[in-house]
Amino acid sequence: MTGGNAIRGTRVGSGPAVGESERGEAAPRKRIDYWCANGHHSKPSFALDAEVPEEWDCPRCGLPAGRDQDNPPAARRNEPYKSHLAYVKERRSDEDGMRILDEALAKLRERKGR
C-alpha cells in the first residue's frame, strides 16, 4: 500500500508541463565561432552581456581555438615530466653531487663505527 502523498516514478524535469513557463525565461545568447589549428570549428554560446574570451579550448582535439579562421592560435608547448632527480641535476653539478655523496657516506661509516 502506498500513501496518498507519495511521489512515485517521477524525476526532476519529467512530466508534460515542463517548459519555459516553469523554468523561466532563457537568457538571451550569442554564438561565437572558434577555429583550432586542426581546422575544427566550434560555436559555443555566451550570454549577451558576458565577456567573450579570445581563445577557447577545442572540444574535439583540446587545442586552443581562436576567432580568426585563417590564423588559429598555435598549440601550447607541453613540458615533459621531470623526475626529482632531473630537477636536482639542474641545480647541482656532478662535482657537487659527488661531494655530497662522499659526505653522506662518511657520516654513515662514522655511525657504524668503521
Binding residues for Zn(2+): 36, 40, 58, 61
Binding-site positions read 36, 40, 58, 61
Q: Which of 43, 35, 42 lies closest to 71 in space, CA to CA? A: 35
Burial profile 68-102: b = 16 or more Cβ within 10 angstroms, e = fewer: eeeebbeeeeeeeeeeeeeeeeeeeeeeeeeeeee
What is the spatial distance between Cα 87 and Cα 83, in angstroms, rounded to a whole number? 7
